[in-house]
Amino acid sequence: MNKKVKVSLSSYQDTESGVEEFRVSAPGTYSLINDRHFIKYEEKTDDDAINKVLLKFDNNFLEMTKSGEVRSTLTFTEGENTEGYYKTPYGTFLIETDTKKLDVRIGKKNIFVNLEYGLYIDGEFVADCKMYIEILF
């Protein structure tokens, strides 16, 4: 069963050159399958292209998959380093996430995800990141 939801995502990357912020607010759909939550929505890029986003998560795991102009899969498990990829028109990069915190809170009218992680691209540290996701039913 799919439910219509509103997805709000705020992402912060603390790099050597300062803090970069990215925000998305979009309608989406929600499904619960075998105790795992699935959220689908679309985000617009800076050049007005559309990426489809799938969030798949439970209390201990989050996977974010994007398809479109940019293709990527990032996986987060608290206390673990995981590898993924980031494919752009300019090439494909190996992404590693060192997940420091993954807190999922499920309420009657919303789900809130608090994520903190270190981001590495091709083995080099890039940023300390924070991501806040709220799904409103």
For the stretch 3-18, pLDDT in tens is: 999 999 999 999 999 9
Tell me, what CATH number does 17's domain have? 2.40.128.20
- The two tokens of residue 71 are 């293709």
pTM for the full predicted model:
0.94
For the stretch 97-126, pLDDT in tens is: 999 999 999 999 999 999 999 999 999 999
Give the number of domains in the chain: 1
Backbone angles phi, psi at 38, to 5 degrees: -130, 125
Q: Are 38 and 32 in contact (CB under 8 A)?
A: yes
Q: Which residue range forms the structural domain that includes residue 40?
A: 3-136
Give mean pLDDT, residues 71-96. 94
Q: d(Cα 45, Cα 48) in Å, to the nearest integer?
A: 5
